[in-house]
Structure 1
């Protein structure tokens, strides 16, 4: 693991797993970190140069000021620059998908392929945003302990989440507020998805508690070179972790075909 300063002074914690294959950047979900990608590193890390980053306010990467996901996309490119990687395939789950889509819009020539799981190109629904702001207030008032069980069930379903809940219990209220406000206030990129010409793969769980299947269907329809939508039966919101064995064959096949680019 290492830390690099990019994008005008932002520190980013990352892991370069090495390897001689095409570069693949891994972008984790909200409140998660690099460790989320252990199943993928084990499954196909020998075939690719996998790089995982802790996004702003997560893991070992600080968030000292307000930011948006366009900023995090630039952070990610900064890490690739530091490693001398000109082009990479990008895989993102949930929040990681927000960032991956923005990377493909900011510098399409640098993204060889795009795979997103349990994500949305649209802004947060008004009702959901209100609920999340109540969650911020509750975290600031009472701390994380009364909330982490519900968050784990919402995001991870039946997955054994004790290790993640231990991490979340250490998350200060101010940091939680900052990262949640970034999520709640994000802009929509669905209207621009037609600009993303790279091969794309969208996977979505039928048990996703956050985004209905319609979000995934809209994204597939908007991406010019998207493969057919992959529905993971009973898949939870963070399905690249909770349903790794279900998504792995699809990710492997997609990367084999497109990770190296044209």
Structure 2
């Protein structure tokens, strides 16, 4: 674990694996209210053969800093860490909000992206009228209930309740201001009309039971990508921990055998 001061934030990150390993570094970017340990299974696997980097986004996990940030500014934090580590080209692997950050990096810095992986992520937040009303109401309930409700519904039916409670407890430690400003940043995120600009090979992995970001929205996005591969798994929104081995295997195929 190391830390870097960036624009009023202290960003905590891990940089593991051989510097002369297989391929360019993989950069794992977690989602809303999560932390870098969502990627424990993937880090342990890939660090054996290649350089792997992950960080806690500002205000999340062991990173400190204001949550008053747009998706573009969060992408800037990721680049600051990579510049500090002298990493030029890389493969962003982003989950949920981390996938939004990954796509922003691909649009803003295409010369640095070798390929990209989006896990349970989309390019435009879209709600039905009923869902939009539900989301609006949810922001007015007590903060801990708001977080708990969102984390609870992120997992597919049948996932162990005690494990879900642990994730709820961890998410609830994220400062309210960080949670709500990042929530607003996701709600306003919309790059669907620009996906044709992202020319690198892109893997879109999604949970069939994801009700946070429904699979239908991901499929709409996939059609707009010039070079996309889709994989749908029997899971909810939290693929990195619901199906860790299956996700790791799919990532391994995409970044090595398919290269």
Task: State TM-score, norm by structure 2.
Answer: 0.88
* Aligned partner of residue 66 in structure 1, secondary structure: coil
Decide whether aligned partners of structure 1 residues 253 and 210 sit closer, same or farther in structure 2, where only a CA change above 3 A counts.
same
Q: Check whether the contact 1:152–1:161 (CA below 8 A) recurs between aligned residues.
A: yes
Partner of residue 153, structure 2? 154
Counterpart-to-counterpart distance in 2, 1:224 and 1:42: 31
Within the candidate set 53, 67, 74, 2:76 is matched to 74
The unaligned stretches of length 5 or more in structure 2 are none
Deviations 1:112-161 (A, max 9, x none): 1101111111134264454334333213xxx41x4554333211231522
Report the Cα offset of residue 179 of structure 1.
2.4
Q: Give the whole-Å Cα distance in 2 for the aligned partners of 1:220 and 1:10.
A: 34
CA contact under 8 A between 1:132 and 1:180: conserved in structure 2?
Answer: no
Q: Which position in structure 2 is the counterpart of 1:206?
A: 208
Counterpart in the other structure of 2:86: 84
The number of residues matched between the two structures is: 251
**Structure 1: unaligned runs, 5 residues or longer:** none
What residue number does 1:224 align with?
A: 226
- Answer whether contact 2:59 2:174 (CA < 8 A) is retained: no
For 2:233 and 2:51, locate their aligned partners in 1 and report how far apart those are by CA, in whole Å.
Answer: 26
Match of 2:18 in 1: 19
Q: Deviations over 1:166-214 (max 9, x none)?
A: 223333433322222222232x111111111111101111111112222
Q: Counterpart in 2 of 1:164?
A: 167
> Relative to 1, partners in 2 of residues 1:15 and 1:97: Cα closer, same or farther, differing over 3 Å?
same
Shift of 1:46: 0.9
Equivalences for 1:178-189 in 2 at 5 Å? Answer: 178-186=181-189, 188-189=190-191
- Which whole-Å CA distance do the structure 2 matches of 1:134 and 1:207 have between them? 23
Give the 5 Å matches for 1:1-262: 1-6=1-6, 8-20=7-19, 21=21, 22-64=24-66, 66-125=68-127, 127=129, 128-139=131-142, 143-144=143-144, 146-157=145-156, 158-159=159-160, 160-186=163-189, 188-227=190-229, 229-233=230-234, 235-257=235-257
Q: More deviation in 45-54 or 122-131?
A: 122-131
- The Cα offsets for residues 74-128 of structure 1, whole Å up to 9 and x where unpaired, read as 1111110000101111101111111000000010011111011111111342644
C-alpha distance 255-165 of structure 1, shift in aligned 2 (>3 A):
same
**Partner of 2:13: helix, strand, or coil?**
strand
3-state SS in 1 of match to 2:153: helix
Instruction: Say whether the 8 Å CA contact 2:67–2:177 is kept in structure 1.
Output: no
When normalised by structure 1's length, the TM-score is 0.87
